[in-house]
Amino acid sequence: MQGMALLGMYIVIALTGQAGGFFISSLIERTVPSAGLPVFLAIFFGLLVAAWPIAVVLLDWLLPERPEAPVISPVVDVRRN
């Protein structure tokens, strides 16, 4: 379940970051038209790399791992006397 939550978190972070990158690059393109595309590409590829570690840290903060209890089977007794 945490794998799907991590993938969903990554997608949300990447999409919101890409939208922000689009708006930043469009604002820059209005003042310096030749700098809009390089800024957008830098934000795009940088965010694709940075979104995964950000998603991992956020998911660890939101859903901390709980230690699993050992499974004791009543049918098979593996303890040796």
> What are the tens digits of pLDDT across the range 8-63?
999 999 999 999 999 999 999 999 989 999 999 999 999 999 999 999 999 988 88
Query: Is residue 31 in some structural domain?
Result: yes
Contacts of 44 (CB under 8 A, 6+ apart): 18, 21
Residue 70 in any domain: the answer is no
Q: How confident is the model at residue 64 (pLDDT cuts 50, 70, 90)?
A: confident
In the numeric block, the tokens 């689009």 are attached to 22
Helix axes 36-62, 2-31, angle to 10 degrees: 150
Q: Structural domain tally of the chain? A: 1
Q: Indicate the pTM of the whole model.
A: 0.71
In a domain, 69, yes or no: no
More confident residue, 33 or 67: 33
* Domain range for 45: 2-62
Residue 73 domain-assigned? Answer: no
Assess if residue 80 is contained within a domain.
no
Is 76 among the domain residues?
Answer: no
